[in-house]
Amino acid sequence: MTAKTMGSKPTGPLAGIRILDLTSVVNGAYGTQILADQGADVIKVEDPGSGRGDGGDIMRWAGHLPEGAPRGMGPIFLTINRNKRSVLVDMKSEAGKRAMRRLIKSCDVLASSVRYEGMKRLGLSYEEVAAIKPDIVFVHAAGYGSDGPYAGEPAYDDLIQSASGCADILGRTDGQPTPRILPTLVADKVSGLFLSQAVTAALLHRERTGEGQFVEVPMFECVTSFLLVEHLYDHTFQPPTGQWGYQRVINPNRKPYRTKDGYIGLLPYTDKQWDMFFQAAGYGDLIQSDPRFADYGTRAKHIQELYGLIEKAAATKTTQEWLDILKPLSIPVVKTNTLDELPDDPHLKAVDFFEGYEHPDLGAYRLMKPPVKFSKTPSNIRRHPPKLGEHTDEVLAEVSAGEEA
């Protein structure tokens, strides 16, 4: 992979916005990286660790580094902290408190995933921060909303998946009642997306009115809302008209389908697409004569049997044969990739999804390009993920000069 040159300046729509980033791990850090990719100057404040451990964002220490690489630059840290500058500040010390006041004055947004009681102990409640910078957008990534009985409790992806109903979904699919956590940090990443959207909305309000505000982004509520878009289902009505869970989605036969030599993702959707698929699969007469599959309503009631027929049909041809047959018919189909195959996916290669860079200390590494495409103000990657405290002197000199001016 050829090493790509870093951008020299921000080109995204948030260029000129400065964010003081007190988030860590994945939730907030993922959200602030999205904003950094879109042009914001994100100042990542990290703690020296109070003499215990290595200090800094804990994600620095997860994963395996290349031999000879400096510590504290773990792989997950790299994927969610590019385009940021790291400032090492002991926020409990008097010098650190002075530095924080100068930083706050220079910023448009303060984003934090520190528990709010901890922010208060640091002298960084919304009221105290707004006294320094009245129009600040203060965004707090909380575990649980401050109006409920769980307010202030610690929250991590595993806990929020358990509390939100996410852990119940697989059991409704396969009939095994044991709750299971999805093997991805879905709660952290969904909450990070909510956070990035909340920041931009609050900045728009400030642009229109001059007002800053306190914004709370609670993981539990965000993830439960995300999950129940489809799975509230018949419990949308009071009294309920049926079950929890969107039937098509919790169907155990909704899965990649085995072909003669691999797997495909396949979803005929309209009446016409179903007719064409089963005609191509050799089931045309059955589908046309079977009242269970006559229209959307009857198919929905018999979705498990319908997907079972797809599974049987898929096994009769190779993956490429299915792609060659179904794509010209505009029937939604795709080859199922393993993680190992993603770098060679023709579409991802064509859009340069994986970009190679040369880090001065780590050597060659790759990142995923910002996926959202702005025609006038494109996002860009212009800074390597920072070493712990790499920009402390640089940033504090900037805010000191600004204060003197």
Print the SS3 string covering the chain. Answer: CCECCCCCCCCCCCCCCEEEEECCCCHHHHHHHHHHHCCCEEEEEECCCCCCCCCCCHHHHCCCCCCCCCCCCCHHHHHHCCCEEEEECCCCCHHHHHHHHHHHHHCCEEEECCCHHHHHHCCCCHHHHHHHCCCCEEEEEECCCCCCCCCCCCCCHHHHHHHHCHHHHHHHHHCCCCCCCCCCCHHHHHHHHHHHHHHHHHHHHHHHHCCCEEEEEEHHHHHHHHHHHHHCHHHHCCCCCCCCCCCCCCCCCCCCEECCCCEEEECCCCHHHHHHHHHHHCCHHHHHHCHHHCCHHHHHHCHHHHHHHHHHHHCCCCHHHHHHHHHHHCCCEEECCCHHHHHHCHHHHHCCCEEEEEECCCEEEEEECCCCCCCCCCCCCCCCCCCCCCCHHHHHHHHHHHHHC
Position 78 scores a pLDDT of 96
Q: What is the mean pLDDT of residues 233-256?
A: 94
Position 51 scores a pLDDT of 45
pLDDT in tens, 112-169: 999 999 999 999 999 999 999 999 999 999 999 999 999 999 999 999 999 999 999 9
pLDDT in tens, 9-29: 999 999 999 999 999 999 999
Position 359 scores a pLDDT of 94
pLDDT score of 238 more than 70: yes
pLDDT in tens, 350-364: 999 999 999 999 999
Position 405 scores a pLDDT of 45
Position 71 scores a pLDDT of 87
The chain-wide mean pLDDT, for the chain, equals 93
Q: What is the mean pLDDT of residues 378-391?
A: 96
pLDDT in tens, 325-345: 999 999 999 999 999 999 999
Task: Go through the domains of the chain in sequence order and give each one's CATH number.
Answer: 18-227+371-404 (3.40.50.10540), 257-335 (3.30.1540.10)
pLDDT > 90 in the chain, percent: 81
pLDDT in tens, 35-94: 999 999 999 999 987 544 578 999 999 999 999 888 899 999 999 999 999 999 999 999
pLDDT in tens, 276-314: 998 898 887 766 677 887 777 777 788 888 888 889 999
Q: How confident is the model at residue 401 (pLDDT cuts 50, 70, 90)?
A: confident
Q: What is the mean pLDDT of residues 172-183?
A: 93
Model-level pTM greater than 0.95?
no
